[in-house]
Amino acid sequence: MNLIKKTLLANLITLLLLAVPVHAFDSDNGKALHNENCVRCHDDSMYTREDRKTKSYSLLRERVVQCEIMTELIWFEEEIDDVTAYLNESFYHFNLEK
């Protein structure tokens, strides 16, 4: 392989790496999905009630899945992640590092 080809290949690889999103959760999409599908049984006060049951990010995601199944939605993993991210940013504020 000559030098020009090598340089072109290296540039291409760099571009491909840059195109991969670092943080994929879209909480705006989550909010839209939530407001469209999830306020039939409970409103936002469910997430801020004093004795709320959800104690961690992973439990929050599990709860979203349970309610999603109960609502007979068939969401993609990304949609579950987006709604979980929205609820966490707006109400729960769990630290994702833990």
Chain residues that interact with ligand HEC, rule: CB under 6 A: 34, 37-38, 40-42, 46-47, 52-54, 60, 63-64, 67-68, 70-71, 73, 83, 87
Shortest Cβ 86–ligand HEC spacing (Å):
9
Measured from the CB atom, the residue of 85 and 87 that comes closer to ligand HEC is: 87
Q: Both tokens of residue 37?
A: 């599908």
Segment 50-55 long-range contacts (CB within 8 Å, at least 24 positions apart): 54/92
Question: What type of residue is 39?
Answer: V
Between CA 70 and CA 98 the distance in angstroms is 28
Measured from the CB atom, the residue of 5 and 93 that comes closer to ligand HEC is: 93
Q: Both tokens of residue 46?
A: 């469910």
Measured from the CB atom, the residue of 14 and 55 that comes closer to ligand HEC is: 55
